Amino acid sequence: MAHIESNQGKSSDKQGFIKTRLLVIDDDRKLCRLIKDYLEPMGYEIALAHTGPEGAEKAVSETFAAVILDVMLPGMDGFEVLKQIRRASNVPVLMLTARGDESDRIVGLEIGADDYLPKTFSTRELLARLRAVTRRSNQTTKATETPDAQEIVIQDLRVNEGSRTAVLGDKPLDLTPVEYDLLASLARAKGRIKSREQLLDEIAERNYDVFDRSIDVHISALRKKLGDDPKSPRFIRTVRTAGYMLMNPAERYD
């Protein structure tokens, strides 16, 4: 039996080769087989679930480096599965949406998905997205193990770039890797505007559509965790047609 490292989503086979464990939750068995056949020769170990309840149970009871999650599932839809996963884990989740439907993408990102992919994806694009979300997650894990680094302090908000953590007052913020990357980028540029394009370039390793709204959804989620009112923001200010800026609440901005 393969040995599974409890905190890395890795396993080793009988020859000692390390494999990255992925969970695919999709009722399309043909698509699951395609994903499995494509990724396994590249060093991934693929577990499959074909219903929502089965997928949710596997995702929270076992250790995976990432989860590929379809929106339309029997027994429980992908959004509810994602909610259950997020109650127990920050494992990266890549959601599959039919025809790239924008409303599905926005809902998924708001709940806590790390990325999305239309079901018309190419296998090469799937691999690139997986590598991007798992790389961000690995950076978070490694940084937590070596917390000594610069801390950015903005009044009662502290962003530690070594541990990749943020604390507001005395309350640690439960941020996804993407939300942390956004907050750190804005914190480093404190008082300066960062355009959506700049933020996307920094947090992702793929090409976004000009009208992609995912950055706005992640900012909205980050604001909620900071307790920010978009109409009267304390920290994150929207600069119309320009982008976003992290403010010091003690300073005035015209």
Kindly state whether residues 159 and 133 are assigned to the same domain.
Answer: no
Residue 56 belongs to a domain: yes
The residue from 108, 126, 141 where one domain ends is 141
Residue 85 belongs to a domain: yes
Residue 93 belongs to a domain: yes
Kindly state whether residues 31 and 124 are assigned to the same domain.
Answer: yes
Which pLDDT score, from 0 to 100, does residue 100 have? 58
Kindly state whether residues 80 and 178 are assigned to the same domain.
Answer: no
Residue 231 belongs to a domain: yes
Kindly state whether residues 135 and 14 are assigned to the same domain.
Answer: yes
Residue 252 belongs to a domain: no
The CA dihedral of 151, 230, 176, 243, to the nearest 10 degrees, is -80
Residue 251 belongs to a domain: no
Which pLDDT score, from 0 to 100, does residue 145 have? 45
**71 in Cβ contact with 108 (< 8 Å):** yes
Q: Could you say which DSSP state residue 156 is in?
A: T
Residues counted in the chain: 254
The residue from 109, 141, 173 where one domain ends is 141
- Identify the CA nearest to 202 among candidates 247, 139, 150, 154: 139
| Integer Cα distance of 208 and 215 in angstroms | 10
Kindly state whether residues 8 and 125 are assigned to the same domain.
Answer: yes
Residue 254 belongs to a domain: no
| Integer Cα distance of 85 and 136 in angstroms | 18
Which pLDDT score, from 0 to 100, does residue 4 have? 31
Kindly state whether residues 26 and 126 are assigned to the same domain.
Answer: yes
> Which two structure tokens, joined as six digits, stand for 95?
């959601």
Residue type, 90: N
**136 in Cβ contact with 177 (< 8 Å):** yes
Main-chain phi, psi angles of 190, to 5 degrees: -30, 120
Tens-digit pLDDT string for the chain (254 aa): 233 333 456 654 444 445 789 999 999 999 999 999 999 988 899 999 999 999 999 999 999 999 999 999 999 999 999 999 999 988 999 999 875 567 888 888 888 898 888 888 888 889 888 888 887 666 554 444 444 457 889 989 999 988 889 999 989 999 888 888 899 999 988 889 988 888 877 776 544 444 456 788 889 989 999 999 878 888 999 998 889 999 877 665 55
Kindly state whether residues 8 and 77 are assigned to the same domain.
Answer: yes
- Identify the CA nearest to 236 among candidates 200, 159, 182: 182
Kindly state whether residues 62 and 15 are assigned to the same domain.
Answer: yes
| Integer Cα distance of 71 and 61 in angstroms | 21
- The single residue listed with the structure tokens 């080793």 is 12
Kindly state whether residues 111 and 158 are assigned to the same domain.
Answer: no
Residue 203 belongs to a domain: yes
3-state secondary structure of 157: strand
Looking up residue 15, the CATH number of its domain turns out to be 3.40.50.2300
Kindly state whether residues 127 and 26 are assigned to the same domain.
Answer: yes
Q: What is the distance, to the nearest Å, from the Cα of residue 7 to the centroid of all Cα atoms in its chain?
A: 17
Which pLDDT score, from 0 to 100, does residue 204 have? 62
- In the chain the first and final C-alpha atoms are separated, in Å, by 63
Q: For residue 187, list its beta bridge partners.
A: none
What helix, strand, coil percent values describe the chain, rounded to 5?
40, 20, 35
- Identify the CA nearest to 68 among candidates 3, 17, 23, 123: 23
Question: What range defines the domain where residue 117 resides?
Answer: 3-141
Looking up residue 182, the CATH number of its domain turns out to be 1.10.10.10
Kindly state whether residues 203 and 226 are assigned to the same domain.
Answer: yes
Kindly state whether residues 10 and 126 are assigned to the same domain.
Answer: yes
Total structural domains within the chain: 2
The residue from 125, 141, 157 where one domain ends is 141
